[in-house]
């Protein structure tokens, strides 16, 4: 089913110098035939590109570029500017489920939306209630529902007008936008929006979080322009099974970028696939390894893959949670590869079967891999 056009996609395409009919996923900070908004253009110098961004009519793909913005004292623009622009284009509703939030420009965009009559609703983690973004919204009368429990509400997604979904690994924080490695997708699809709205309302309306949430996603598999997209939420969505199935189905290669990787089942599948001749390589977040999250690192090292895994080279955090299978299937979202992501936290994952998107994520993986050690 083809997605219904959302006004923001045409508007932001104009801002970026793109044709509205051909939404070109943009790797921020990399050379591309676009003119970024003035703030971004002033603070995001270009860097060598690792891959040519694909073209699609239903999504924008963004990566942070901390190798550049991490050197700037006061970076701005980039992904937060695109999210704010999309919120400024909202006509009826914005539903936001966000773990951490301190970005003023996105806060301001939500307040502008509220002022013009858009219904703005927010779900967050209880530990984030005192963060600047959440606190400002609550003080302005925006309804905010916390999870009020020990495991975390770890989602990072927004649904605009029931037509557009933002999701990925980036919290709405300065550090995640400008210091850490992250990825975000803006997907135009009413069916995908229904999936995310359904999950959001469990939390916002019924205050059901974690294992109290029943797995009943309206459209667990959708098709956009020939691309198969699987949607999973955890807990209770058997997310790990579906991810492991994707890994086990690899015919040529598996590449990964993992902030927190402690699932032994995933680790064993990687070992099995490497033994079967697949090219298995990946980057782990160094700080998580140092903090004791090294179970899979040790499995792979002891299993003969020491030369195929690296610690990230970012002095802050490599915060991605991504598998790239055969450069044609992408697993991405808020879901760390851990037991808590599967069994306790509120998380979301997309498994996208699209070679063009796989090529773009592989280009980002190559950059992270080259910076690793």
User: Using an 8 Å Cβ cutoff, are 336 and 156 in contact?
Assistant: no
Within this chain, do residues 38 and 15 fall inside the same structural domain, yes or no?
A: yes
- Mean predicted confidence (pLDDT) in 310-332: 98
d(CA 270, CA 303): 10
pLDDT, mean over the chain: 87
Within this chain, do residues 207 and 221 fall inside the same structural domain, yes or no?
A: no
2 lies in a domain? no
138 lies in a domain? yes
Sequential DSSP letters for 16-71: TT--TTSB----TTS--S----HHHHHH------SSPPP-BSSEEEEE--HHHHTT
Confidence of residue 9 (pLDDT cuts 50, 70, 90): low
Within this chain, do residues 295 and 366 fall inside the same structural domain, yes or no?
A: yes
| Last-in-domain residue among 211, 235, 251 | 211
- Mean predicted confidence (pLDDT) in 305-333: 98
Residues marked active site are found at: 154, 156, 161
| Last-in-domain residue among 211, 236, 251 | 211
Task: Supply the pLDDT for residue 211.
Answer: 82
- Mean predicted confidence (pLDDT) in 130-143: 98
d(CA 246, CA 240): 10
32 lies in a domain? yes
104-115 helix and 132-139 helix, angle to the nearest 10 degrees: 20
328 lies in a domain? yes
- Enclosing domain of residue 347: 214-371
Q: Which of 34-48, 65-79, 142-156 has the lowest mean pLDDT?
A: 34-48
* Res. 225: pLDDT tops 70: yes
pTM: predicted TM-score of the whole model, two decimal places: 0.88
Query: Token pair of 131, please?
Result: 């963060």
- Mean predicted confidence (pLDDT) in 351-356: 97
Within this chain, do residues 113 and 182 fall inside the same structural domain, yes or no?
A: yes
Kindly report the CATH number assigned to the domain that includes residue 165: 3.30.870.10
Within this chain, do residues 100 and 135 fall inside the same structural domain, yes or no?
A: yes
239-248 helix and 264-275 helix, angle to the nearest 10 degrees: 10
- The conformational region for residue 304 under phi > 0 = left, psi -120 to 50 = alpha, else beta, is left
pLDDT digit string, tens, across residues 358-370: 999 999 999 999 9
Within this chain, do residues 229 and 118 fall inside the same structural domain, yes or no?
A: no
1 lies in a domain? no
Q: How many domains, in total, are found in the chain?
A: 2
Confidence of residue 14 (pLDDT cuts 50, 70, 90): very low
- The conformational region for residue 235 under phi > 0 = left, psi -120 to 50 = alpha, else beta, is beta
Within this chain, do residues 186 and 240 fall inside the same structural domain, yes or no?
A: no
Within this chain, do residues 205 and 327 fall inside the same structural domain, yes or no?
A: no
Q: Which CA distances in Å does 59 have to 20, 158, 189, 347, 368?
A: 12, 14, 9, 21, 23
User: pLDDT > 70: what percent of the chain?
Assistant: 85
| Last-in-domain residue among 211, 227, 249 | 211
Task: Supply the pLDDT for residue 213.
Answer: 66
Which residues make Cβ contacts (< 8 Å) with residue 335, sequence separation at least 6? 234, 239, 243, 321, 341, 342, 347, 348, 349
Task: Supply the pLDDT for residue 3.
Answer: 38
Task: Supply the pLDDT for residue 30.
Answer: 27
60 lies in a domain? yes
Confidence of residue 28 (pLDDT cuts 50, 70, 90): very low
Query: Token pair of 113, please?
Result: 């939306």
For residue 235, cis peptide bond before it (omega within 30 degrees of 0): yes
- Mean predicted confidence (pLDDT) in 129-147: 98
* Res. 162: pLDDT tops 70: yes
* Res. 329: pLDDT tops 90: yes
- Mean predicted confidence (pLDDT) in 222-226: 94
d(CA 198, CA 217): 7
Within this chain, do residues 94 and 132 fall inside the same structural domain, yes or no?
A: yes
Closest CA relative to residue 298, chosen from 338, 271, 331: 271
Which residues make Cβ contacts (< 8 Å) with residue 345, sequence separation at least 6? 151, 152, 153, 154, 210, 234, 235
88 lies in a domain? yes
299 lies in a domain? yes
Task: Supply the pLDDT for residue 214.
Answer: 74
Sequential DSSP letters for 136-184: HHHHTT--EEE--SSS-B--EEEEETTTEEEEES--BSHHHHHTSB-EE
Give ∠ CA 255-256-262 in degrees, rounded to 5: 135
Within this chain, do residues 159 and 53 fall inside the same structural domain, yes or no?
A: yes
Task: Supply the pLDDT for residue 36.
Answer: 24
Query: How are beta strands 309-311 and 279-284 bridged, if at all?
Result: parallel
- Mean predicted confidence (pLDDT) in 287-308: 98
Within this chain, do residues 78 and 189 fall inside the same structural domain, yes or no?
A: yes
Which of the two residues, 262 and 54, has the higher pLDDT score?
A: 262
User: Using an 8 Å Cβ cutoff, are 162 and 190 in contact?
Assistant: yes
Within this chain, do residues 317 and 180 fall inside the same structural domain, yes or no?
A: no
Confidence of residue 56 (pLDDT cuts 50, 70, 90): low
């Amino acid at each position: 089913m083809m997605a219904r056009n959302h006004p923001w996609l045409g508007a932001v395409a104009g801002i970026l110098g793109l044709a509205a009919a051909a939404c070109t996923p943009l790797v921020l900070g990399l050379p591309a035939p676009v003119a970024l908004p003035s703030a971004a253009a002033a603070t995001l110098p270009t860097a060598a590109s690792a891959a040519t961004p694909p073209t699609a009519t239903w999504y924008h793909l963004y990566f942070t570029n901390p190798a550049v913005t991490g050197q700037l004292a006061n970076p701005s623009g980039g992904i937060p500017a695109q999210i704010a622009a999309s919120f400024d284009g909202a006509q009826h509703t914005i539903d936001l489920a966000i773990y951490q939030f301190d970005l003023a420009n996105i806060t301001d965009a939500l307040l502008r939306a509220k002022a013009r009559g858009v219904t703005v609703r927010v779900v967050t983690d209880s530990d984030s209630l005192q963060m600047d973004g959440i606190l400002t919204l609550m003080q302005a009368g925006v309804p905010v529902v916390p999870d009020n429990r020990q495991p975390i509400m770890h989602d990072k997604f927004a649904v605009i007008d029931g037509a557009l979904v933002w999701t990925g690994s980036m919290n709405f924080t300065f550090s995640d936008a400008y210091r850490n490695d992250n990825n975000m997708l803006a997907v135009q699809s009413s069916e995908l929006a229904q999936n995310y709205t359904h999950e959001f309302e469990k939390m916002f309306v019924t205050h059901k979080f974690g294992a109290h949430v029943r797995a009943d996603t309206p459209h667990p598999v959708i098709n956009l322009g020939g691309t198969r997209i699987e949607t999973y939420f955890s807990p209770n969505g058997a997310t790990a099974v579906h991810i492991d199935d994707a890994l086990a189905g690899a015919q040529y290669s598996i590449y990964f970028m993992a902030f927190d990787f402690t699932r032994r089942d995933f680790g064993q599948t990687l070992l099995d696939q490497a033994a079967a001749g697949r090219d298995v390589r990946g980057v782990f977040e160094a700080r998580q390894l140092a903090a004791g999250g090294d179970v899979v690192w040790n499995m792979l090292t002891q299993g003969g893959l020491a030369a195929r895994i690296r610690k990230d080279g970012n002095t802050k955090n490599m915060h991605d949670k991504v598998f790239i299978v055969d450069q044609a299937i992408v697993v991405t979202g808020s879901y760390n590869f851990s037991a808590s992501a599967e069994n306790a936290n509120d998380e979301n994952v997309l498994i996208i079967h699209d070679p063009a998107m796989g090529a773009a994520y592989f280009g980002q993986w190559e950059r992270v891999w080259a910076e690793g050690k």
